[in-house]
Amino acid sequence: MGLEPQFSYWERSSFIDNPDVIIIGSGLVGLSAALHLKKSEPSLKVLVLERGFLPSGASTKNAGFACFGTVSEQLECLQHSSEEEVARLVNYKWRGLQRLRQNLGDSNIDYQQHGGYELFMADEKAYADDQIEKIPYLNNLLKQAIGTDNIYSVASNKIANFRFDKISWMIYNPFEGQIDTGKMMRVLLNKVYDAGILVLNSCSVTGIENQPNEIQLITSQGNFKASKVILATNAFANQLFPDLKVVPGRGQVLVTKPIEGLKLKGTYHFNQGYYYFRNINNRILFGGGRNLDFEAEATWDFGHTKKVKQQLITYLNEVILPNQNAEIDYWWSGIMGFGDDISPIVKQVEPNVFCAVRCNGMGVAMGSLVGEEVAELALNS
């Protein structure tokens, strides 16, 4: 299939023909890669192809936690990864967050550092005791990763201030923050446009053909050619490269209507990180529940299930905002890319085709660096 004849000479010459690099996917990783390519080699022609009307994976649908992991998440990682590997990943997320803030500017992304909390329910005493006992060990293990040894501390005495119910223990981490996800993606897109990078939406890539001197992309809008291609399609990576070890994981999220006198500020996790909530302006954003049915949530389909929705509503009304009858204004879902290995996949998949996928649900923290890494790989191969 050739390019559709309706493209004018002007459209072809200014929008379509001869990019040096095509990036598939306009999420945080794809756009960060595009910017890094252009910064490193300003003469490169970089084109981003995005299948959605907006970026349509995780980057505009996440919770906006600028986090590097709770105590239970770190201990869970240590069950199947070495201490060095866990510390390396925390350092990577920490540096990724600094890079995101440097690149985009704290005020542009509404970065606020109210700290992060991990909550334990009243019926989790043995589990909470065990996690709390391991705080000194983790603080020591991770002190080099973020440059301080006072990362986690017990803060159960603050529970009453937040008016939670059924919560008996709390761990605090002052180094975590939150951003406005929408603002992050808008300012990133603006930077991409300012750098002279073109982003074309509603263009789904359905095939990649390695030809003698170029890569040809088959898309819903016709064929495109480039010398190099970067795949930044995260959860959807297997649709083009079935061998990549990426499993999709849907995250269902709600945002309440504004709540008068809302006290709570910060990012909060419970149930080993499977549930998370935060304040956004004077509302609560609350998501999670993938663990209720891993199989059903390992999907590329956006949407909701009754089971997860019901559990989120129950926790919202019984634990987070007890007796307040909070009304819900928004429901949405986003798709993350997971794998057994805790690190993202940044590698060459074919000659002149590179991938940067699988941020394991932590791409706000890692995405800027993952994008830079794949751009460097493409530039130097």
Ligand X SMILES: Cc1cc2nc3c(=O)[nH]c(=O)nc-3n(C[C@H](O)[C@H](O)[C@H](O)COP(=O)(O)OP(=O)(O)OC[C@H]3O[C@@H](n4cnc5c(N)ncnc54)[C@H](O)[C@@H]3O)c2cc1C
Contacting residues toward ligand X, per CB under 6 A: 24-30, 49-52, 55-59, 61-65, 67, 204-205, 232-236, 239, 251, 253, 287, 334-336, 359, 361-365, 367
The residue ranges of DSSP E strands in 150-190, in sequence order, are: 153-154, 167-173, 177-178
Find the residue with minimal CB distance to ligand X.
Answer: 57
Nearer to ligand X, 88 or 163 (CB): 88
* CA–CA distance, 85 with 78 (Å, rounded to integer): 9
* CA–CA distance, 247 with 290 (Å, rounded to integer): 13
- DSSP run (H or E) holding 253: strand 247-256
- DSSP run (H or E) holding 140: helix 135-146
Neighbours of 210 (CB within 10 A): 12
Least distance in angstroms from the C-beta of 201 to ligand X: 9
Structural tokens at position 342: 């805790």
Least distance in angstroms from the C-beta of 216 to ligand X: 14
Least distance in angstroms from the C-beta of 346 to ligand X: 11
Least distance in angstroms from the C-beta of 278 to ligand X: 8
* CA–CA distance, 207 with 119 (Å, rounded to integer): 45
Neighbours of 313 (CB within 10 A): 14
Decide: residue 143, CB within 10 A, 0-12 exposed, 13-18 middle, 19+ buried: middle
Report how far Cα 303 is from the mean position of its chain's Cα atoms. Answer: 18
Q: Which residue has the tokens 């065990």?
A: 130
Are the beta carbons of 308 and 325 closer than 8 angstroms?
no
Structural tokens at position 36: 């890094």
* CA–CA distance, 115 with 172 (Å, rounded to integer): 7
* ∠ CA 259-265-271, rounded to 5°: 100
Nearer to ligand X, 19 or 64 (CB): 64
Nearer to ligand X, 26 or 173 (CB): 26
Nearer to ligand X, 35 or 336 (CB): 336
Nearer to ligand X, 266 or 361 (CB): 361
Least distance in angstroms from the C-beta of 348 to ligand X: 17
Nearer to ligand X, 232 or 316 (CB): 232
Nearer to ligand X, 132 or 316 (CB): 316
Least distance in angstroms from the C-beta of 147 to ligand X: 20
Structural tokens at position 183: 């603002």
Nearer to ligand X, 152 or 275 (CB): 275
Least distance in angstroms from the C-beta of 234 to ligand X: 3
Least distance in angstroms from the C-beta of 139 to ligand X: 22
